[in-house]
Amino acid sequence: MRHDVPAESSVGRGRPPHLLADFDRDRAASTARDRAEVSAVPLRAFTEAWAVEVAIARPPETAARLHMLESPAGAVTDPGEARDIAAEISRIRNAAANEAGLRTAGGAAG
């Protein structure tokens, strides 16, 4: 993950306002789990997940494309079309993870 910009300030600055409520809810839940489990894993997972969400939200066209793909994905009945949608969603999320400096199943962090 990139450490040069705090995730919280990245979410707040110029990002869709609906993400802020989700961010705060997820942060509070992860912090509570950290304390309950005496483990840093929930907060680390939260930070990594939100780094990806911020990377997706940063360019509005990427966020719009992902939303367009995810909306009908559950209703698709053709297996080939479902595979194509899943592959493109995966490419978008993997590119965002790479931008955030996270390792993915398909390769190393950038």
pLDDT tens by residue, 35-79: 888 888 888 888 999 999 999 998 999 999 999 998 877 788 999
Q: State the pLDDT confidence band at 15, using cuts at 50, 70 and 90.
A: low
Q: Which residue has the higher pLDDT, 13 or 77?
A: 77
In angstroms, the CA 22 to CA 46 distance is: 11
pTM, two decimal places: 0.68
Residue holding tokens 């990245």? Answer: 10
Cβ-contact 87, 48 below 8 angstroms = no
Residue 3 tokens, joined: 């450490």
Cβ-contact 50, 11 below 8 angstroms = yes
- Neighbour count for residue 109 (Cβ, 10 Å): 13
Cβ-contact 30, 40 below 8 angstroms = no
Residue holding tokens 């009945």? Answer: 77
